[in-house]
A and B are shown apart, each in its own frame.
Chain A
Amino acid sequence: MKSSPQAFEGLRQRGLKVRQPSRTIATTDHSIPTTSRSLPILDPIAATQVEKLESNCREFGIPCFGFHSEDQGIVHVMGPELGLTQPGMTVVCGDSHTATHGAFGALAFGIGTSQVEHVLATQCLLQQPSQSFEVRVDGVLKPGVTAKDIILALISRIGIGGGTGCVLEYRGSAISALSMEERMTICNMSIEGGARAGLIAPDDTTYEYIHGRRYAPQGADWDAAVARWRALPTDEGATYDKSILIDADALEPMITYGTNPGMGISISQPVPTPDSGKDAIERDSIRKALDYMALEGGKPLLGHPVNVVFIGSCTNSRISDLRQAAAVLNGRKVSPSVRTMVVPGSQEVKRQAEAEGLHEIFRAAGAEWREAGCSMCIAMNGDQLTPGQYCVSTSNRNFEGRQGKGGRTFLASPLTAAATAIQGTVADVRSIL
């Protein structure tokens, strides 16, 4: 929604309609508050943007899961939840984390406002062919190590430009063993490695997830769809333009120390020193990042005090993420020095969590239980860090100021975030499992 008003305005100026309203959906996620939905949106600019989306959708006939909809949520959480994301589709949205939907074997990527306008008007986009990049993850994850750690490890190895021009295909035994929600966490951050998209071949796990959801094919259509989808996976023996192998057995919980998602380390490693950079520019980048983060190279991150823990975002706000965080927080208290926010990815995730009593666990531990939205991942809605604060965040970007001007972000998994909330400092969840 953050880039749509200008696209609708473009259609109006040219006198164009939305070509396929029935293949288009809208929701409100970036700018909306995560306080009670019975309150009005206090920020007048955000309120205008939300109203504009809803009125544009009415005018152009697009289904909108808006501010008061019980299906509202972060588009990359609520879309799959409603069965809207299916294998073989092309899925685009004015948001770079659209890569999430690749977990279903859909070609899914983020686009700018001009291209949103192109799709609304024509259902078409002009594209350059992409290169293929195999990310093979074999082995078995150790306790305390999650899908988030796989993707942070990958980006730390290929760098944030390593996937430029490529579509990543995640495969291997460790990927096949993942649930759909875990696969979404991985594909979500493909863009953080610079890739255009990330894909995982559909399999029985995929079909079981989609089956019976509101917009999934039904009856005979379902059988025909599954038959079509089974033809999608990459052929045996196919070759890729690039490949990388990751050993799942060797992975540890990951955390970022710097100001881009490629600046990641295993949680037990020390923060790199600028001298470890391969050239003058990289040494400068590390120095600049450590300055911004007020960290010293060579020292461990473990034990570093934090002010805020944010559990949410399109990367890690699904029910399985909240269950993991709740399992760590159950019967424990968050440190009095840490503000802990738990923000479900959708109204459906919120209902499910409340049905399971997870909200009671979060509240009893001293964490805030909020309404669905992007919240402190992008800090457009008032949920933000103050200058100098440190946050362990389950989101996807640690760029300067991303979570609020002057804020300092450590990206990690929900398990690491929950353990950190309890300890009040960056923690290794394996020590309390």
Chain B
Amino acid sequence: MNPFTLLTSRVVPLPIDNIDTDQIIPARFLKTISKEGLDRNLFCDWRYHEDGSEQPDFILNKPEAKGAQILLAGDNFGCGSSREHAPWALTQFGFRAILSSSFADIFRGNALKNSLLPVVIPEDVKQELFALRENDANLSITIDLETQTLSLPDGRKVEFPVDPFAKYCLLNGVDELGYLLKHEREIAAWEARQPWALNTLGA
């Protein structure tokens, strides 16, 4: 996993509530057996016309979206399916952080495991950022994970919450599996206390 520390980037706005993972990456692209190549189908049905040509009005197709690493989205981002293809597609497109007033639980967990930072901001800050971005297509903000602060263009700082363990993993670029594997003894001891556990193999 790539470490995440400080990020300064332009902002791509998607002022829509309840953006579900079927919009982020439609189910027909989940038949792949690899993690690669999902970026071209990110927001596929909003991004392309029926004939496959780009929908020029959609924000990801506008010049100011190119190279931007921060997505600013409406409430309850990432609801619906548990597909991890959603954060894979977002990170492959180049996003490193998403700002919203709330995130769906499964998406938030999946994002954190892919070095994509879900930043929960108060509703009024979100509305203010949408308004600032409306007036300035080059609006740029800085996210500092170490201090858990967002720096607005006028210098104001907004704090955001992050689970301490997820923060440790992001800052150091380590994943949870390594941590879990270190607890082999405790896992084995717990399993030994569950004699009634399911045994599908019948052994």
Contacts and interface: CB of A to CB of B under 8 A. Distances in A.
Interface in B1-41: 15-18, 20, 22-23, 26-28, 30-35
A84 B202 CA distance: 13
B196 A160 contact: no
Interface string A7-51: 001000010100111111100001100000000000101101100
Nearest to A378: B27
A96 interface: yes
Nearest to B45: A401
Contacts of B31: 2, 31, 43, 45-46, 48-49, 380
A84 B102 contact: no
Contact of B17 (A2, A5, A113, A281): A281
Interface residues of B, number: 56
Interface in B168-183: 175-177, 179-181, 183
Contacts of B105: 164-165, 194, 196
B92 to A, nearest CB: 13
A164 B76 contact: yes
Interface in B44-83: 45, 50, 74-76, 79-83
A23 B200 CA distance: 6
Contact of A114 (B16, B17, B114, B165): B114
Interface string B148-181: 0000000000000001010000000001110111
Nearest to B34: A6
Contacts of B110: 112-115
Contacts of B45: 400-401, 405
In this complex, which of B22, B79, B180 has the most chain A Cβ atoms within 10 angstroms of its Cβ? B79
Interface in A187-202: 191, 194, 196
A276 interface: no
In this complex, which of B17, B32, B184, B187 has the most chain A Cβ atoms within 10 angstroms of its Cβ? B17
Contact of B22 (A115, A123, A194, A399): A399
Main SS at interface, chain B: loop
A286 to B, nearest CB: 11
A3 interface: yes
A270 interface: no
Contact of B28 (A5, A126, A379): A379
Nearest to A53: B33
A387 B109 contact: no
Interface residues of A, number: 76
A216 B101 CA distance: 44
Nearest to B199: A22
B85 interface: yes
B4 to A, nearest CB: 16
A378 B20 CA distance: 13
Contact of A63 (B35, B85, B180, B201): B201
A117 B177 contact: yes
Contacts of A399: 20, 22-23, 80
Interface in A121-158: 121-124, 126, 128
B198 interface: yes
A380 B104 contact: no
Q: Kindly list the 6 A-B residue pairs having the minimum CB-CB distance in the complex, ordered from nearest.
A: A112-B84, A161-B76, A112-B110, A5-B33, A110-B82, A114-B113
Interface of B: 15-18, 20, 22-23, 26-28, 30-35, 45, 50, 74-76, 79-85, 87, 102, 104-106, 109-110, 113-114, 163, 165, 175-177, 179-181, 183-184, 187, 191, 196-201, 203
